[in-house]
Copies of this chain bind each other. A is one copy, B any other.
Amino acid sequence: MVNGIKPISSRSMAERVEISLREYFAQKSFKPGDPLPTELELAAALGVSRNVVREALSRFKMLGIVEAKKKSGMVISNPDIVGTFEKVMTPEIMDEATLQDLFELRLALEMGIADLLYIHKTEKDLDELEEIAAREMKEKDNNFRISNEIAFHSKLYEMTGNNTLKRFQSLLLPIFGYVIKLEKKKVISGKVTHQDLVKILRKGTVEDFKEGMLSHLQPHFDRVRSFKK
């Protein structure tokens, strides 16, 4: 590299407008509901074409940061964290390292929600969870078992009372299927079953539950251990 010469930015115009608008939003302390200048006004202020402004605003709309209102034009909006995550969650085109990372992230959450669960769980929740666990004992069909497996773990997240967490985990579900498919392995459950977990949630301490969940997920953790970098 020649000393003193910096490379010219390779960012597209839309990217540069996006960055400028982010700075503008922050500087003006915009809150959800606050109106934005029009496309034309923004284009004039930025010295770019209206098409470029529209492209950048389209990105903000996708993130939920900007919303088009029928009469009042564009306004700032509460960004849609999970919805955006959903848009980028495309296991079929992700590389294996990322899939593996997300698989572990999911495992960490599965273990990590125990304390939140014990703060929020109710008798009604436990009855519902017990019903899901009981159903799987009766059915032999594999597709049913998979959907029931999902129902059980999703219910656990729901019991935390945390909507973002619940939606987030549901987006990570395909990762499990995908990682297992890549390795052409069958899912094997640990020694502690869903029914055991329900019993622990009813009578056991949060420490008992953490131990039970670890045992339930043991095959997955063994897998992580076997892939140790």
Chain A interface residues (CB < 8 Å from chain B)? 12, 14-15, 18, 25-26, 29-32, 51, 54-56, 58-59, 61-65, 68, 76-81, 84-85, 87-90, 92-95, 97-98, 101-102, 104-105, 107-116, 119-120, 160-165, 168, 207, 210-211, 214, 221, 224-225, 228-229
A115 to B221, CA, bound (A): 8
Query: Which chain B residue shows the least CB distance to A95?
Result: B78
Chain B residues whose CB sits within 8 angstroms of the CB of A116 once the complex forms: 104, 107-108, 224
Across the interface, name the chain B residue whose C-beta is closest to A89: B81
SS class, residues of chain A in contact with chain B? helix
Query: What are 7 A-B pairs at a CB distance below 8 A?
Result: A51-B54, A79-B93, A79-B94, A81-B102, A98-B164, A101-B163, A116-B224
Q: Which of B51, B85, B120, B168 contacts A228 (CB 8 A)?
A: B120
A206 to B46, CA, bound (A): 55
Q: How far apart are the CA atoms of A105 and B106 in the complex, in Å?
A: 12
Number of copies of this chain in the oligomer?
2
Q: Is the CB of B107 within 8 A of A162?
A: no
Taking the closest CB of chain B, its distance from the CB of A189, in whole angstroms, is: 17
Per a CB cutoff under 8 Å, which of B31, B84, B92, B165 touches A88?
B84
CA distance A119 to B115 in the complex (A): 22
Q: With the chains together, A93 CA to B102 CA distance in Å?
A: 27
Residues of B with C-beta under 8 A to A115: 107-108, 111, 214, 221
Cα-based distance from A58 to B51 in the complex (angstroms): 12
Are A12 and B61 neighbours in the complex by a CB distance under 8 Å? yes
A113 / chain B contacts, CB cutoff of 8 Å? 108, 112
Report Cα–Cα, A55/B14, bound state, in Å.
9
A93 engages B168 (CB within 8 Å)? no
**Among candidates B32, B56, B93, residue contacting A65 with C-beta atoms closer than 8 Å:** B93
5 closest A-B pairs by CB: A112-B112, A101-B164, A108-B112, A111-B112, A84-B88
